[in-house]
A = this chain, B = another copy of it.
């Protein structure tokens, strides 16, 4: 997931029908500062980022990552590959959420093995139950 702030800022500002000057006024800064943001020469700090998002009526997420896409411009395949990349980036998030780690990490200890093949327990339980019944007969 790339940060596409510069592009996104330009798009959203124009969608709102604002000039760099008008946006700058609302932020109490110069229009050149806005220009630099849009050309990627600099980027505002997080607080300003929040203000900008408020003015443009979007969340900071949208402003930074541009989940809003121009209709028709993104193909399904693009979305799929985007999803794959997202998956990569989020790998570690899963480390803290065991269920997902299963898919990625090699099995290094018993617990991970269990987490990965817990369904085997069903078979085990079934077998134990079956044997139990056999003996009871």
The answer to whether B43 touches A59 (Cβ under 8 A) is no
Quick check: is A29 within 8 A (CB to CB) of the other chain?
no
Say which residue of B1, B91, B131 sits within 8 Å of A57 (CB atoms).
B91
The complex is assembled from copies of this chain, and their number is 2
Query: What is the number of residues of chain A that contact chain B, defined by CB distance less than 8 Å?
Result: 52
The answer to whether A114 touches B118 (Cβ under 8 A) is yes
Say which residue of B15, B43, B50, B98 sits within 8 Å of A96 (CB atoms).
B15
Secondary structure type dominating chain A contacts? helix
Say which residue of B45, B58, B100, B129 sits within 8 Å of A92 (CB atoms).
B58
CA distance in complex: A58, B129 (Å): 43
Interfacial residues of chain A within 92-121, with CB under 8 A of chain B in the complex: 92-93, 95-100, 102-103, 114-116, 118, 121
Quick check: is A18 within 8 A (CB to CB) of the other chain?
no
CA distance in complex: A98, B71 (Å): 14
Write the nearest CB–CB distance from A38 to chain B, whole angstroms: 14
The answer to whether B93 touches A59 (Cβ under 8 A) is yes
